[in-house]
A and B are shown apart, each in its own frame.
Chain A
Amino acid sequence: MRPGTGRRKRISSVFVAFCAGSVLLALVPLAFVLFFVVSQGIQSLNVAFFTHMPAPVGEPGGGMANAIVGTLILVGLGGIFAVPIGIMSGIYMSEYAGTWLASLVRFAADTLNGVPSIVVGVFVYGIAVLPFRQFSALAGGLALGIMMIPIIARTTEELLLLVPGTMREGALALGATHARAVFTVVVPSAAQGIITGIVLAIARIAGETAPLLFTSLNNRFFSTTLTQPMSSLTVQVYSYASSPYQDWHRQAWAGALVLVAIVLTGSLLARFATRRLESLSPR
């Protein structure tokens, strides 16, 4: 016997309610995490947090100046490794989209994107720490760079594909070489989007801990030497969070707040820029 219309409608409403409920259910942890990070973090976040060195155990106050500078340096190093490789391979994937090598590169980018960050750490330990018997900021930057490459490559590819083909054809018709058409017409018209993509990648990567645990390690002192271990916000938050001291827990929450602020700013920036870009393209 076929179920009646009333019953079918009821099932349908239950289903719709379930879907709406899922959205709410997922927003609960988001709200909880943000609420705790902000309410706990704000209590310990002050100027000293940005300008002072970590305080010894038992001494209240202190900051994460060394870790903040460390994170900036490590992320900068990662960018130096990743931006050229990411953009150029993104150009290749979009310009030669149909070729087997482009498919292979795309597959490699997606694979690289899926490699657990801790495994990237192990890999970099093998190639950049073990041979020199020295944890270093360079190794940490390399690990972050490896994680950034696929994000930048795929963003570049996607944005270049949004650029109308007529623009490329116009440049070629005017006698430009392929390289010239790409670098003076196609890439510049997507430049804003690509730059935001990089900002987003940087913001995401600034929150990574696992690849740094045994590459740049940690450093209790202020250091800008690239061949020495370097402190970072994330590793510092990790070591503070696993310590038994109240003061350090407070510092960890403040660090978490700074991390969330970085990521949130990056995401918001990327959102507005891509929206503008999409409104420019014909479809």
Chain B
Amino acid sequence: MRAGRAAGDLAFRLGTGLFGLVLVLLVAAIGAELVRQSWLSIETFGLNFWRTSIWDPVAGEFGALPFIWGTLYSSMLALLLATPIALGIAVFISELCPNRLRPPLVFLTELLAAIPSIVYGLWGIFVLVPAVRAAETAFPQALKSLPFFSGPPFGLGMLSAALILAVMVIPFTSSIAREVLKSVPVAQREGAYALGATRFEAITAALYYARTGIVGAVLLGFGRALGETMAVTMVIGNSPKVTLSLFAPQHTMAAVLANEFSEAADDLYLNALIEIGLVLFVITLVVNSLSRLLIWSMARSERQAAATTVVPAAESAA
């Protein structure tokens, strides 16, 4: 009887464990399959694939520099716009707003994350892009000599993409930042107030205390921005160029996949596209893992700290 029980428990453990293993295998399989399917391109071009910027499938020339540039540039810009706002939201919701206002505000910011990418894209094409075009046209001539604002006003381009990405990234960064702030011990803030700190001083102290997790939250938003596909594809103009200009149509790794994948006629072209997918996979994997690691190490050091303090941190449960 005892033995039967132990066997049953073991079967349960193995059974559920196997399903868990499926997730691990899936991640490995994605990596392996992408390498396998892009091998032709990796072999043919080597590192030059990422150093050259001429993308001409007809002539068989594949340089992916403009795509990696567009992805990094648009995500960085989105991050610059989104981070202060996202942190402001996190601080407001977790530190400043009345308790009754909290649930609806959380819900509304999370709704931003729930709206499908394609809907943002549709809105981008018909509402945002015309507005951006008008703004670009009205832009003071004197500033147009700067590399950031050169070129004709298309509307479709880097600026529209960065704006829409920023909106889409804000909810991710702010919800993680909120959780991280929650894990800062209440005593830490009370101490600051007791010393006569203003709200700003107490909260910046809390933010400083939570800096590892905050960086993690920002990185998580970055990871989201890197992989975002539909909305960006629809507003960035899809033109492979390496330029600093915010007004210029550019391209991203995800967008070129969405645009050209089903048209890729020959093997080399398809392999080249899949290699772009592979690198996108690797970059997001690294960024996300780093971000998780930071958030996790913050949560862990917090638990250890909470275990040793006399005043139990009421809200420290992650």
Contacts and interface: CB of A to CB of B under 8 A. Distances in A.
Contact of A210 (B12, B122, B230, B281): B230
B89 A260 contact: no
A79 B123 CA distance: 29
B285 A114 contact: yes
Contacts of B30: 115, 119-120, 123
Contacts of A8: 198, 200-201
26 contacts: A15-B200, A21-B88, A26-B86, A26-B112, A26-B167, A26-B174, A29-B112, A30-B111, A104-B24, A108-B23, A111-B285, A111-B288, A115-B281, A116-B227, A118-B254, A122-B261, A122-B274, A125-B261, A126-B36, A126-B37, A126-B274, A150-B23, A237-B119, A259-B116, A260-B119, A263-B115
Contacts of B20: 88-89, 92-93, 101-102, 105
Nearest to A207: B116
B186 to A, nearest CB: 16
A163 to B, nearest CB: 15
Contacts of A149: 22-23, 26
Nearest to B28: A108
B119 A256 contact: yes
Interface stretch (B41-49, B91-99, B302-310): B91-99
Contacts of A115: 27, 30, 227, 281, 284-285
**Chain A binding surface SS class:** helix
Given A123-B30, A177-B8, A18 B21 contact: no
Contact of A19 (B13, B96, B220): B96
Contacts of A88: 15-16, 19-20
Interface of A: 8-9, 11-12, 14-16, 18-23, 25-27, 29-30, 32-33, 36-37, 40, 84-85, 88-89, 91-93, 95-96, 101-102, 104-105, 107-112, 114-123, 125-127, 130, 146, 149-150, 153, 177-179, 182, 203-204, 206-210, 213-214, 217, 234, 237-238, 241-242, 249, 252-253, 256, 259-260, 263-264, 266-267, 271, 283
Contacts of A253: 122
A116 B19 contact: no
Interface stretch (B54-62, B101-109, B141-149, B239-247): B101-109
Contacts of B109: 23, 26
A210 B88 contact: no
Contacts of B17: 92, 96, 101
Contacts of B127: 32, 36
Given A11-B198, A11-B200, A32-B123, A84 B116 contact: no
B187 interface: no
A263 B120 CA distance: 13
